[in-house]
Chains A and B, each alone.
Chain A
Amino acid sequence: MRLALVYARVQTLELVRFPGFTIATLGFPALLFALFGLPRAGDHPEVLLAAYAAFSVLGIGFYQFGVSAAIERATPWAVYLRTLPASAPVRLAGRVLPAFLFAAIAGGGVIVLALLTTSASLSTGEWVRLLLVLFVGGLPFVLLGTAIAYWFSPKTALPAANIVYMLFAYAGGLWTGPSDLPHAVARISPYVPTRQWGDLLWAAVGGTPMRWSHWLALLAYAAIFAAIAAWGYRRDEGQRFR
């Protein structure tokens, strides 16, 4: 655990000292909310607050885990790290911890903006449920980001992450809300992981019960994405180091 914290500290320091990266990454979800969420906040600002906070977790998962890791693994520093006596779980934990820290800050930006500019209001219980769903429910997307890192080259990881990010956000109803999806997309939406996540988010802020089937679906997606990531990790080792 101590070594994982050392990795997390180094990763955090490395990132926060790039102001361009930090500001863009942390500010992007709030910018999205200001441009596209605010005009539609209307009668249900809490729903949009939850959806755009989810964008921050999704973005961190895809870009910090996917794109950044894909670029890093091609560097001599990443090769050197493999010679150090640290296990894969320690390295992964060292990446997960700062990612959640960044996601919390980015999501916090959306929440503060929503509270300042809309009539959004949540009870203490709803806040707790929202944070729980945001971070525990966001795990499958962190794993999907990791899979992208190992299946795509440094040059193709960014477009791949963009496509998956936009498709998942849209088809899951995070962008427009499930009721506004076109008919064809609405039919496949219940099977998209972001929709399972969205249903939990909206239940959390709406005060309605959360269904276990959504949690189980997210768990299944987490297992699938973890398997794809592990497969990609082994494949990458085979290509690069054998």
Chain B
Amino acid sequence: MSKRNPLAPLLAIPLLGAGLLVVAPTAPPRAPLATVFAVPLGALIAIALARRRRGTASLGAGLVVGVAGAGEEALWRGFVLGRLTSAVGVVGAVILSTIGFAATHIPAQRLRGLRVQLGTGLVFGTLYATSGSLVAAMSAHGIYNVLVLVRLRGIEKRFGNTSALRGVDLTVEPGEIVALLGPNGAGKTTLVNILLGIRGPDAGDVQLLGSVGVTPQEMSFPPTLRVREIVDFVRAHYPKAGATDELLERFSLTRIARRQTGGISGGQQRRLAIALAFAGNPQLAVLDEPTAGLDVESRLEVWNAIRAFADRGGGVLLTTHHLEEAETLATRIVVLAHGEVVADGPTVTADGESLEHAYLRLTR
């Protein structure tokens, strides 16, 4: 699923890579290892790169980005690296082909994404150079691409003269809980809305693979509908939706399942809004300040539900103003300030620094 359908141009990459290999075949830099060993090795490397990846993208989109990744390997490793090896040696060829591979991604990802492209290009190039198996490198890159659930590249958004988002890159992988932090007006909700297709970006690409469940920052319900009816209504949109009773139980909504939403408390409405994000058993949950206004007990319940979802291979993108929530829950923290990503990693603190200090340092 993609608002700008960025997947279609990706089909050109495997065609170009395969075409070059057919027209001008190259020899591998070393005698190939048996494919039966090399391919699983490539798969393991892809899994290590994408960390806790489980689950898959939707069939069509997954197929396209998977094939595109494999095609990039055919082009950059099979053709370029193979050609350069005789001239500059294997190490030089790996480095140069990696630089070329990363450079072609700059228009989409800006300089911020260059680090990731250099890293992955180096890993896949090294895999090819050491195993001699192009199939292994193609498999690894294809799997790596499929296992990324969300990819935002170079997102730009302006409101009049105000630049709300400036070249933002963001990915969420299966099993990951990504906390998006930032002060009010930093662009968090705008970014989430662009990801969901509620707003369109002025520039950049959005790839959203697989199904997504959503809890918006602001939510209201038709007041005459019952809690269970709303859950069933949302479940009806998803082919692999979980059981209503189990969902109601998980979010402590069973007792009020038959009540109309106009008669339940604000906290109960918020729990219902969060439950709806998981009602369809999606591959990605996007939660915009999910626990705002919840009491401590409810917040812990929600945290447990989010962790359980990620443990089953779901990806989570959540925005929050609660630093302790990000610290406790997230496997990766992204800090957004003045429309730009100013930090992105498992931790954003320096040695001995509290998250609060790091946050203030990064967002001032």
Contact = CB atoms under 8 A, between A and B. Distances in A.
Indicate, yes or no, whether A interacts with B.
yes
B216 A14 contact: no
A13 B229 contact: yes
B211 interface: yes
A13 B211 CA distance: 28
Contact of B198 (A2, A6, A79, A85): A79
B220 A14 contact: no
B220 A76 contact: yes
A216 interface: no
B260 A3 contact: no
Contacts of B220: 75-77
Nearest to A2: B236
With most chain A CB atoms within 10 A of its CB, the pick from B197, B216, B237, B238 is: B237
Given A3-B236, A10-B225, A76-B216, A242 B211 contact: no
A179 interface: no
Contacts of A10: 222, 225, 229, 233
Interface string B229-258: 100011011100000000000000000000
Contact of A85 (B199, B224, B237, B260): B237
A80 B214 contact: yes
A85 B219 CA distance: 18
Contacts of A242: 199-200
A208 interface: no
B147 to A, nearest CB: 22
Contacts of B229: 10, 13
Interface in A67-105: 75-77, 79-80, 82-86
A82 B198 contact: yes
B200 A241 contact: yes
Interface residues of B, number: 25
A17 B260 contact: yes
Contacts, number: 55
B1, B225, B236, B238: most-surrounded residue (chain A CB, <10 A): B236
A80 B219 contact: yes
B197 A18 contact: no
Given A3-B237, A13-B225, A14-B224, A83 B214 contact: yes
B37 interface: no
Given A10-B229, A241-B198, A85 B222 contact: no
Interface in A36-91: 75-77, 79-80, 82-86
Interface string A6-17: 100010011001
Contacts of A3: 236-237
B159 to A, nearest CB: 10
A105 to B, nearest CB: 18
B216 A80 contact: yes
A83 B212 contact: yes
Contacts of A83: 196-198, 212, 214, 216
Contacts of B238: 85
B211 A79 contact: no
A52 B301 CA distance: 56
Contact of A77 (B221, B237, B260): B221
Contact of A6 (B1, B216, B233): B233
Contacts of B234: 84
B222 A77 contact: yes
A241 B201 CA distance: 10
A21 B199 CA distance: 33
B218 A82 contact: no
Contacts of B197: 82-83
Contacts of A2: 236
A79 B193 CA distance: 10
A82 B214 CA distance: 10
A6 B219 contact: no
A18 B218 CA distance: 24
Cβ-closest 8 pairs across A and B: A17-B224, A83-B214, A6-B236, A76-B218, A76-B220, A14-B222, A84-B237, A83-B196
11 contacts: A2-B236, A10-B233, A14-B222, A18-B224, A76-B218, A77-B220, A77-B221, A79-B198, A83-B198, A83-B212, A85-B237
Given A76-B218, A83-B212, A85-B1, 12 more contacts: A3-B237, A10-B222, A75-B220, A76-B216, A77-B222, A80-B219, A82-B197, A83-B196, A83-B214, A84-B234, A241-B199, A241-B200
